[in-house]
A and B are shown apart, each in its own frame.
Chain A
Amino acid sequence: MMLVHTQKLWLFVLHNLWTSLSYRLALVLGIASGVIGLLQFALLGLFLQEGNTFPAIAQYGGNILAFLITGSVFTAFVGMALSTFGAFVRLEMKMGTLEHLLISRTPLVHLMLYEGLMNFLATVVSAIVTLTILVLLFGVPLQVNLLGVTASLLLLTFALLGMGLASAGILLVSKQGDPITWVFTTLTGLLSGVLYPVSILPAWLQTISWTLPTTQALHALRLSLTGAASPHDLAAPLGALLLWGAISLPLGALVLRWGLNQARRQGSLGEF
């Protein structure tokens, strides 16, 4: 069984690789944009760090460059976890391949998980490359707690999985426009401490912020990347992520099933 899943996952990887290679210029430009964006971020961090101290981020090591870069890497994971399923469903609807995949011997949830796992691995590789370059080029002071980082990213993905499933369920019906991804992406950028620490927010906003799984996950990730966190420090945020996942996953699965049934009733699976 495991072998079958691995072979299917490999086919997803090949499929994406073949597609990306068929758009060579876009692939090159995309990589170049990523590198330039990263460079801008790093230079901004160096500029801000010069002669300044940042007591608000002292618990994460106090280095603004490390703070910004971990926020940036984290955002990539949030975007991936939230939108990977919905984007898959929408793309397959547009290509006209969704109905053919739905009559294949691979259930829709499995197809979405292969796509999600492939994107997760791609984001991990990209994050490792990014962080390595920054450490080597700009001397970003990272103290990596590998177990903490792994647990943070896996539990972040687990916590957002339900939202991703729900997002795909809504897209099966709405075809375009997904409020769940929009709300979470917006709240993450605004309240989760990606570019500034949560502590600068008004107290009532801080309360809302800490209820978000993205805030908990980013906190755990930063502690694991910059502060050599102890298991005790990580227990609370990781526990919160586990709780989020335990609640959101069944709800997300229900919304996905609702969306699929609704699209079947409307006969709209082939529409986009």
Chain B
Amino acid sequence: MLSIEAVTVRYPRLERPALDQVSFQVNPGEIVALLGPNGSGKTTLMKAICGLVRPVAGSVRVGAVDVLAAPEEARSRLGLLLHAERSFYYRLSGFQNLLFFAGMDNLFGAAARTRIEQLLAHFGLQEARDLPFMKYSLGMRKKLSLARLLLRNPDLVLLDEPTANLDPASVREVLEHLRELRKEGKAVLLASHQLSEVERVADRIALLRTGRLLAFDQMEKLQQSQHGPRLQLVLAGPVSAAVLRRLERLPGVRSLDTRGLAQPTPLPQLALVLEATAELAPLLASLGALNLPLVQINQSQTTLEEFFLQAVA
């Protein structure tokens, strides 16, 4: 549904390209998370897909339509939610805002009103339909943005930090809406800093840093590509610095995560982050030889946050 090929964007006052030869695809019925630190080019990429920013090289296709060659046709197939809070008319009600934007998308009269009422009901905004937008809470604003985006029934949905500044209940609702979009066969590109939320919904991850695509794959594969599994050691008591140094030098251990030692509730914990090639049997034997006050050992995958921090470091 979305095909980005070697897209390069240069801003006049920026020495390095804002986007440098970025390529990846998003399929129908798929959520791709666009990750990267601040200034990595996520919003620029979203805007380049919509034609709001002009690439100096590369191509963007929405379905079979080239965004640069046929911008209006391409834009008619996508919906955008930008992170910026300012994107509605503050003095107009939610309903009036949607009516206006629906009209600009050629949806008028009874058809527009019916669709708007459906969307307001879907997002639980019926009671606030006549409230001025300025009175809406952050969560309501995000939901109204989603409703506006869906007015045009897009094939491709672009979301720039849709859960930023939302309370946990609203985050859960927004994520549920994203799953619904996937179920309806829409292609979703989701830019976010909320890695735990991304883990819950994304099928694939595209990781940007300083305008370059560092990685693009399924989450599990990316996590494995950086390092192997994680061994969580639950301990009955503290361990000495000398033991920690020995743990760090064990074959197959990439690093130690000692954050659990500082907060020993209910028991201190220590995590060994392993190399992808680490063999578990000899490692466990070495652990036994150290006489650690072990209560339990759990094996888990590295988190997306660990992958992210390592990849962009």
Contact = CB atoms under 8 A, between A and B. Distances in A.
Interface stretch (B32-40, B83-91, B277-285, B295-303): B83-91
Given A15-B89, A19-B91, A95-B89, A266 B12 contact: yes
Interface string A105-125: 111000100000000000000
Interface in A4-51: 4, 7-8, 11, 14-15, 18-19, 22-23
A23 B89 contact: no
Nearest to A107: B72
Contact of A19 (B75, B92, B109): B92
Contact of B86 (A22, A95, A102): A95
Interface residues of A, number: 30
A9 to B, nearest CB: 10
A11 B44 CA distance: 31
Interface residues of B, number: 39
Contacts of A270: 52, 82, 84
Nearest to A102: B52
Interface string A250-272: 00000000000100111101100
Nearest to B149: A100
Interface string B41-82: 000100100111110000000000000000010011010101
Interface in A148-200: none
Given A11-B99, A103-B78, A267 B90 contact: no
A266 B47 CA distance: 12
The majority secondary structure among interface residues of chain B is loop
Interface stretch (B100-108, B227-235, B261-269): B100-108
A118 B75 CA distance: 26
Contacts of B92: 15, 18-19, 22
Given A11-B103, A100-B101, A267-B44, A23 B52 contact: no
Given A15-B100, A96-B84, A105-B72, A269 B52 contact: yes
Given A95-B86, A99-B82, A7 B103 contact: yes
A242 to B, nearest CB: 31
Given A100-B80, A103-B52, A267-B53, A18 B87 contact: no
Given A18-B92, A19-B91, A267 B47 contact: yes
B88 A97 contact: yes
B98 to A, nearest CB: 11
A235 interface: no
B114 to A, nearest CB: 16
A39 B100 CA distance: 37
Contacts of B101: 100, 104
25 contacts: A4-B106, A11-B103, A11-B104, A14-B96, A15-B92, A15-B96, A95-B90, A96-B88, A97-B88, A99-B47, A100-B148, A103-B78, A104-B104, A105-B76, A106-B106, A261-B54, A264-B53, A265-B11, A265-B54, A266-B12, A267-B9, A267-B18, A267-B52, A267-B53, A269-B53
Given A15-B96, A103-B80, A267-B52, 8 more contacts: A11-B100, A18-B91, A95-B90, A96-B87, A99-B87, A100-B148, A264-B52, A266-B11
Interface of B: 9, 11-12, 18, 44, 47, 50-54, 72, 75-76, 78, 80, 82, 84-92, 96, 99-101, 103-106, 108-109, 132, 148, 152
